[in-house]
Chain A
Amino acid sequence: MDLIKNSEVFRKLSGIAGTINNSGIENLKKEGGKVAGYTCSFVPEELLIAAGFMPFRIRGTGSKSADLANDYFQAANICSMVRHCFNHILTGEYDFLDAAIIGGGCDANRHILDNWEKSDAKIPFLHRIFFPHATGDLMVEYFRNQLADMKAGIEKHFGIEVTDEKIWNAIKLCNEARDLQKELYSLRKADNPPITGAETVDVIVAGNSMPKEEYIADLKTLLNELKNTKVEDKNYKARLMIIGPCHDDTSMCDIIEGLGGITVTDLTCFGAKIIYGRVKDSGADPLQAIAEYQVQDRPFCPKNLGAHPIISKTVFENIKDYKVDGIIGQNMLCCDTWGGELYILNKELKEAGIPMLRIEREYIPDSLGQIQTRVQAFLETITGGTQ
């Protein structure tokens, strides 16, 4: 897209998504601001913002090796995303963090906390919260209590008070960001979207890596630019959707889009899953509102028992809304839960006549040639080799 390549605000967001530390963080720190890192999308940014932190979703962007982390996590069978993220922690990429919240989403992720505590990489405040792996009122209550513990831990350590009013304000702020992100996604429903899948990844990833108010302002500018752009007819070979866990780099979309296809939507932990719906922004208890959103409303992590029908429903709705021709189901090589989920989904999509390509990959896109060949063959399957 010519416009977006020339868009100053896009270049800024793309730059933020392509690195770990950025000028926004540096400026914030100079002014005495604090940054809290977190793993897993169910760790609520709302609570971190209310506590005065800039939330930063921990990722392994730019990592070339997980050698140091492999001393802690077995390289052969632990998710490479976890290892590359932890390698960054060990090499000091995350030294700007004042706090980190480890979401116990999966067996590997959960132990980042143990390894961090025992390593030489020090951090002032390290906390772990657990997400219930089923749904219902009891699970909401449990998660609400987890959030209350997290809040109390932060308050005690940093000597601050996180009032309900601050949390409600943070909820409103995050909802605004989600609404704008959804607006961005809806532009991709067009036959000729003004933004590609790769570009969208950058815009969404930046949202968890910079001050939220600044992000909202930038996103508004970008949306305005996109809406006022006349997009030429691209005649894409196929409109694809990406499903799976972390998808925080553009390599998969770059391949698809380099071969004449376009990624129009996704269901990933760095993408559509984090912009889904809204947190209730008024009521008696803001922690309850966050817990209800995370436990009841959002499409779940497949680690949750009973998650599949909701994941499946969301996928089929997206196929219709975004006129999807095919699905790329991609998961990290060692991910048990997404490995199982994509197997189940694949069967259902096959029955519905929707083509799906399964790709198990490593976090660092190091076998792009092989993936490119498979995506090319997949696109030919969809188009019948005619385009």
Chain B
Amino acid sequence: MDTDNNKNIFDQLNKECNEYSKAIFLESCVEVAKNGEQFGLTTEDCFPEVHCALGLPYYSIAVFGGVMSQMPQAFDLIDKSKEMGVGSMTCSGPKLAMYMVESGMIPKPNMIITGNQPCDAISALGDLVNSYKPWADVPKFYMSAPHDKSEESYVFYGKQMRAAAAFLEDILGRKLDMNKLKQISEEANKQCQLMLELQVLKSAVPTPIDWTWGRSATRIARWGSRVGSPVVTEWLERLVAATEQRVKEKKGIDGITEKIRFMWYDMVPTSSEKLFSRLANELGAVELMDYYNWGGPWTPIDTSSEEAMFTSFAKRYLKDTPMVKHAMGTVQSFTDDITRLYKELKCDAVVLGLNIGHKEQNAMYRVIEDICRERGIPIQMIGCDLWDERYMTGDQIFDKIQMFFEVSGLIK
């Protein structure tokens, strides 16, 4: 495969991904509502395989908030969300989503499922959605994710997922086709395996592709209406093959001389496109992993029985999904995961976004830091607002990271 051909493949993959990704955006939801189709809303999508098997358009309000934070009108809307009078220190992303609900930007759904993962702000968003008067007559289902990593917890959550699926069946007036669910789950297993393969390929030195590819894979393979679709599998296969080719040719990211490998261990900030480009171009620092750019490993769905499938969905959600998995368990499991990825991806450093709204991380930052240092992992805590660049601009984050790399001896 020559260089031009390889570039063409990535361009084509990017084009297709942009098309597929539309299914998770507010515009798609508005269109579906306009067409009179039934659709569901959730605060956080815990079982994409199920709504895909039901053929139900299903949207995450938290994603709407996250996407909106990157729009030109974001600052204005964030200010309006602050004026609403919800908690003043609540994460700007969910707060933005709260404003979108309250201001009528989101069409009235046919069903709502809310849950408490991954954070208290999402619980607060759920409470607001559940008590929003114009949606008072919309059927609602509440889910409670446990916070301990145990088999009992996965069974408990799997049972809730089955009950939530039954709730959707009742409203839709159609049964979940277990064969279809099995088929989608098996295809999703292949996709998760391909995402892991991509992650392994990214661990090559130099890393063959930039951070946005992991995000693209996550977006279409774990979110929205194409989870478990053969189209996505084929897309991932092409991405993995093209990446593998670059690894064989020992090619790094185009135009970048890789000097530092780091992981942004959080969701990425709204300034990420510019920030990570600057870090790569000016410092040769490549970002290898973040909560959107997540290769797993993902628990395979056991399709041997209905119960096994739902318990596996619970594991995949609670044990493997970024941010959700981080809200589970203790600081030990959090830092063990950092350590694993640091080693696997051959990182030189770890940056923790420490979003002002992430109470979880902020409640254990010192111990995270201590454990990482004991293990010889250079780690930096930023303390930004992921959704509002006015709190800390991308350039300010760049300066902080640059200084961190300097004092860590990574910039000679």
Contact = CB atoms under 8 A, between A and B. Distances in A.
A303 B142 CA distance: 12
B131 interface: yes
A130 B148 contact: yes
B86 A130 contact: no
A340 B84 CA distance: 10
A108 B131 contact: no
Contacts of A316: none
Interface string A106-135: 111011011100100000000010101111
A305 B363 contact: no
Given A115-B364, A118-B331, A305-B130, A130 B356 contact: no
Contact of B89 (A113, A145, A333): A333
A56 interface: no
B15 to A, nearest CB: 39
Contact of B90 (A110, A115, A340): A340
A162 interface: no
B308 to A, nearest CB: 18
Interface in B138-158: 140, 142-148, 152, 156
B127 A339 contact: no
B327 A107 contact: yes
A363 interface: no
Contacts of A92: none
B186 interface: no
A27 interface: no
Nearest to B362: A74
A296 B321 CA distance: 30
A142 interface: yes
Interface string A352-387: 000000101000000000000000000000000000
A76 interface: yes
A284 interface: no
B261 to A, nearest CB: 27
Nearest to A132: B144
A121 to B, nearest CB: 13
Contact of B127 (A78, A135, A141, A344): A344
Interface string B52-95: 00000000000000000000000000000000111111110000
A302 to B, nearest CB: 6
B116 A335 contact: no
B123 A336 contact: yes
A85 to B, nearest CB: 13
Given A82-B363, A114-B364, A133-B123, A338 B87 contact: yes
B120 A303 contact: yes
Interface residues of B, number: 53
Contacts of A302: 123-124, 127
Contact of A336 (B114, B120, B363, B383): B120
Interface residues of A, number: 53
A344 B131 contact: yes
Contacts of A307: 127
B88 A333 contact: yes
Given A132-B146, A138-B163, A343-B85, A305 B362 contact: no
Nearest to B334: A114
Given A132-B146, A305-B126, A307-B127, A335 B362 contact: no
Contacts of B116: 133-134, 303-305
B360 interface: yes
B363 A108 contact: yes
Contacts of B87: 331, 333-336, 338-340, 360
Interface centre among B88, B121, B131, B357 (most CB of A within 10 A): B131
Interface in A272-327: 302-309
Interface stretch (B252-260, B288-296, B365-373): B365-373
B159 interface: yes
A309 B136 CA distance: 11
A304 to B, nearest CB: 8
B367 A115 contact: yes
Contacts of B125: 340
Nearest to B89: A334
A337 B120 contact: yes
A339 B88 contact: yes
B301 to A, nearest CB: 22
Interface string A142-181: 1001000000000000000000000000000000000000
Interface centre among B124, B143, B148 (most CB of A within 10 A): B124
B114 A305 contact: yes
B128 A344 contact: yes
B283 interface: no
B127 A341 contact: yes
Contacts of B225: none
Contact of B363 (A107, A130, A141, A341): A107
Contacts of A130: 146-148
A344 B125 CA distance: 11
B242 interface: no
A259 interface: no
Interface centre among B159, B359, B360, B362 (most CB of A within 10 A): B359
B185 interface: no
Given A108-B363, A133-B116, A336-B120, 7 more contacts: A71-B366, A138-B156, A139-B144, A303-B123, A337-B124, A340-B127, A340-B128
Q: Rank and list the top 7 A-B pairs by shortest CB-CB distance, nearest first.
A: A339-B87, A340-B124, A305-B142, A107-B359, A111-B363, A74-B362, A336-B120
19 contacts: A71-B366, A72-B364, A72-B365, A74-B354, A107-B120, A108-B359, A111-B360, A118-B331, A130-B148, A135-B142, A142-B156, A304-B116, A308-B127, A308-B131, A333-B88, A334-B359, A336-B121, A339-B124, A360-B88
